[in-house]
Amino acid sequence: MVQLHDLQFKPFISEKEIDTTLQRMANDIASELQDEVPVFVGILNGSFMFVSDFVKKYPKPCEVTFIKLASYEGLKSTEDIQRLIGLTQDLTDRTVVILEDIIDSGNTLAEVYRIFKKEKVKQLKIATLFFKPEAYNKDFKLHYVGFKIPNKFIVGYGLDYNGLGRHLSSIYQLMETQHMTNIVLFGPPGAGKGTQSDFLKDKYNLVHISTGDVFRFNIKNETALGMLAKSYMDKGELVPDQVTIDMLNEEVERNAGAKGFIFDGFPRTKAQAEALDKLMDSKDSQINAMIALEVEDEILVQRLLKRGKTSNRPDDANENVIKNRIAEYYKKTAILKDYYSSQNKYFGVDGVGSIEEITRRLSKVIDAL
C-alpha cells in the first residue's frame, strides 16, 4: 500500500505485466507500420516512463519527441482549450504515433487531434498504455491500447496524484475509503445466529447474509442452485465450497454500497474463509471480527427440536440430522476458530441466556472493534 498526500493506493498492475504489454504494443505497431519510420510523440508529463520503456522495446528504427499541453493562463471559458509546447519538428508527411499514458474522458486526445490537424502528417495513430472505456466520451479511434481499466484513479509509472507517485515503477489504484464493519457470526446450529443477526443488522445498519437462508430460498424456488444444495442439506452435510463461495460473492455484489455485513453460516471451511478475505480485500475492506456464540450441545439439540415443530425445516425435525450438523460444525469448522484467533479476531460470547442479554453481550464486542 502507498500513501500519497491524504490518499491510500493499493497495488494494481505489476512491473512485469507492464513490461509484457509494452512488448506486445511495440510488436503490434512495428508490424503494422512495416517500413515506415514513425515519429513517436509522447504527451508529457505522464508518458515519460511509458515512452522511455516503449521505445527501447521497439524493434525497428524510430524517432522520439515529446510535447506538452498546457491550459491557457487566465482563460475564463469553461472550454479547456490547450496550447502546445515543444513541437519543434516538421512532421509533414510523417507517420506520427501519439503515445499517451492514459485516456479517460478523451479531452486531451481531442486537443491533440485539433492541434495535429494543422500539421500535414501522413497518418496519425493513437497509442495509449491505459484506457478507461467507462469514462471515454469521444469517438476518436484508439489504434493501440495497452490495458483497459475500470474508471478508478491510478498512480505510478509516470502518473501522479498532485505531483506525487510518478516515480513508482508499477501501477497503484486508489483505495475506496468506505469504512465497513464486517462480522462473521459463528456458532453451532441452534446457537441463535439468525435471531441475533436480526437485532444486530438494524442496530448497526448492516446487511445480513445467511447462506442457509439463501440456499433455502433457492430450494423453495426450485432453482438449479437449490436442487444442488438440497441433496447435501437434507443430510446435514456441507454444500461444496465452490458452489457456496460463488453464491456468497454474488450476494455481496448485490449489496454494493452496504455499510457492512453480518455473515451467518459462512465461512464454514478454511477455503471459504480465504475466499471471504479475498472478497473483502477487493472491496478495500476486511473481516473485523468472528464472534462465536457458545452453547452446549444438549441445549442446542433441545432448541433445534423445538424450532423444528414450527420452522418446517426437515433438517430440524430429525434428532440424528441435528446431531450430524452439530458434529459437522465441530469437525469442519474448529479450524476457523484458529484462523481468526491467529489474527486476533476471534471473540467467544456466551450464547445461553435471554435474547436481550445475548444481544447486549454481542454489542459490547462490536462496539469495541
Q: Which residues bind ligand AMP (CB under 6 A)?
A: 189, 211-212, 215, 232-233, 236-239, 244, 265-266, 268, 272, 325
CB of 318 to ligand AMP, least distance (A): 13
| Integer CA distances (angstroms), 228 to 161, 238, 318, 329, in order | 49, 11, 21, 20
Residue (82 or 197) nearer to ligand AMP, CB: 197
CB of 202 to ligand AMP, least distance (A): 20
CB of 230 to ligand AMP, least distance (A): 9
Residue (71 or 242) nearer to ligand AMP, CB: 242
DSSP-assigned letter for residue 286: -
For residue 366, the Cα-to-chain-centroid distance in whole angstroms is 25
CB of 180 to ligand AMP, least distance (A): 20
Residue (137 or 195) nearer to ligand AMP, CB: 195
Residue (181 or 272) nearer to ligand AMP, CB: 272
Query: 66's torsion region: left (phi>0), alpha (psi -120 to 50) or beta?
Result: beta
| Integer CA distances (angstroms), 214 to 34, 150, 207, 218, 247, in order | 58, 30, 13, 6, 8
Residue (231 or 343) nearer to ligand AMP, CB: 231
CB of 150 to ligand AMP, least distance (A): 29
Measuring CA to CA, which residue among 207, 254, 245, 255 is closest to residue 225? Answer: 245
Instruction: Enter the C-alpha cell of residue 360.
Output: 447486549
Q: Are 63 and 39 in contact (CB under 8 A)?
A: yes
Q: Name the closest residue to ligand AMP (Cβ).
A: 212
Instruction: Enter the C-alpha cell of residue 29.
Output: 505497431
Residue with C-alpha cell 471473540?
347
